[in-house]
Amino acid sequence: MTGDDGKMSCADFQAQLPELIGSGVDVSNHPHLATCDRCSALLAELETIAEAARQLFPSVEPPDEVWQQIESAIKREGN
Amino acid sequence: MPNSSSPTQAPGGIRPNGGTEQGRTASRPANPADAEVLARAQAGDHEAFAHLYSLHKRRIYSLCLRMVGNVAEAEDLTQEAFLQLHRKIATFRGDSAFSTWLHRLAINVVLMQLRKKGLALISLDEAMEPAPEEGPSRSFGAPDLTLSGAIDRLALERAVADLPTGYRLIFILHDVEGFEHNEIASMLDCSIGNSKSQLHKARLKLRDALRSQKRPEERP
């Protein structure tokens, strides 16, 4: 399926997508997306997932007991 | 001499992006103060080691927690990772950023634990090569569900937990912890291209999973 101007298929575009996204360029300006709703939707969904990961998974503080156990183990190993 | 005080309140919880430990992380330039703390810890200064723990505990614990999905296990893994750090810290030569080196160490601790639990996973190489049937579906067919609006945290947690180990690892390191592909490649001994490819597959698989979790009445 080409789904656009016939110059690039969805398969070809999606094959390039990991590199395009990973390179940090603004993929939304890619010519294929101007005429392909499916790949535009795909890109939007992937961006939604990445954004959700940033928003929904804050770092978590370990309880103090973890450090206490580390200290105890270090002391045991030092003996 | 060992310092028995808890390092949880150590000043300036610095994240690799220069922010606080509360924020999302990415690489940051080396901080001279951090380098001094590291050098002192390498020389056996326990207070400096406690400070290192305070700087990195959240990231390491969060990584462990996201990878195993169990608080008690994550605590044990964090403890083991920092004990290994204590044993090996003198061997750190600065070929990579300290945070990258520490994460690599912690990742190996996590993978070892997963192996003990009997999961079909032995090494980083295997973690990076999920079976073909575990890969994401392709997106060239008929239009289907669209992820619109906010993603539910529990739904995303479930979907991440169900990812093959290698995909989960890359996704957590990049999208959650904020590491760059070159750092991940260094941690996992893979190419930058492989890191990008695995992250993309992880996101595609999460997309599949999140769609399948949608209730029928929510579907367009």
Q: Which of A39, A49, A66 sits opposite B79 (nearest CB)?
A: A66
Which chain A residues are closer than 8 Å to B74 by Cβ? 62
ipTM: 0.84
Whole-structure pTM value: 0.79
Q: Is residue A5 part of a domain?
A: no
Domain containing residue B101: CATH number: 1.10.1740.10
Nearest partner of B165 among B78, B72, B67, judged by Cα: B67
CB contact under 8 A, B53 and A41: no
For residue A44, what is the nearest residue in chain B, using CA coordinates? B147
Q: Is A76 on the interface with B (CB under 8 A)?
A: no
Chain A residues with CB inside 8 Å of B77's CB? Answer: none
| B220 inside domain | no
Contact between residue B83 and residue A73 where contact means Cβ atoms under 8 Å apart: yes
User: Residue B23: which domain range?
Assistant: 10-119
Task: Give chain B's domain count.
Answer: 2
One domain for residues B111 and B127: no
Residue B78 in domain: yes
Instruction: Give me the mean pLDDT over the B161-172 stretch.
Output: 92
Region of poorest pLDDT, from A40-44, B135-139, B186-190 = B135-139
The answer to whether the beta carbons of residues A60 and B58 sit under 8 Å apart is yes
pLDDT single digits (tens) A9-22: 999 999 999 998 88
Is residue B63, in this structure, part of any structural domain at all? Answer: yes
B126 with B112, same domain: the answer is no
In a domain, A64, yes or no: yes
Token pair recorded at residue B94: 């600065």
Report the domain count for chain A.
Answer: 1
Of B63, B87, B119, the domain-final residue:
B119
Q: Does the structure show a pLDDT above 70 at A3?
A: no
If you write DSSP's letter for every residue of chain A in order, what string do you get? ---SSSSS-HHHHHHHHHHHHHTT--GGG-HHHHH-HHHHHHHHHHHHHHHHHHHH----PPPHHHHHHHHHHHHHHH-
Residues of B in contact with A68 (CB under 8 A): 6
Q: How far is B94 from chain A (nearest CA, A)?
A: 24
Contact A11 B171 (CB under 8 A): no
pLDDT of residue B72: 97
